[in-house]
Amino acid sequence: MKSNSNAVGHGAYRDIENLGSRTWEARALRQSEENLFSAIPYPSPQERKLIRRAAVNAVRCALAEPPILKGSAARTLERDYLTWSRKLRQDLIKLGLRRRPVLS
């Protein structure tokens, strides 16, 4: 049987918001959300939506990074990664989370 050379192996385009609860992507999504909820006490409904969106973009970025770092990613994945990471940064800024200086 011939393998599909066009197959997508990274999963960055999966429907991350509707994953089964036992996949590692779903666990990563929950962990991202928990981290953001712990950073923002008593979030408003609007902040909850931003937290969810930021967590989804964080997981998408995590899925896209390995093929990009290996050099095996398509240009579209690289372009989409830049979009997702920009949206993640913008959502974190909207939530009031800023980059902290590194303490040495």
Tell me the average confidence (pLDDT) per consecutive run of 10 residues in the chain, 104 residues long. 50 68 84 93 94 94 89 86 95 88 78
pTM of the model: 0.79
| C-alpha dihedral, 85 to 28 to 48 to 100, nearest 10° | -60
Q: How many helices (H) and strands (E) does the chain have?
A: 3, 0
Sorted by sequence, the CB contacts under 8 Å of residue 84 that are 6+ apart come out as 57, 60, 61, 64
φ and ψ at 64, to 5 degrees?
Answer: -85, -25
Measured in whole angstroms, the distance separating CA 48 from the mean position of its chain's CA atoms is 16
Domain ranges of the chain: 20-94
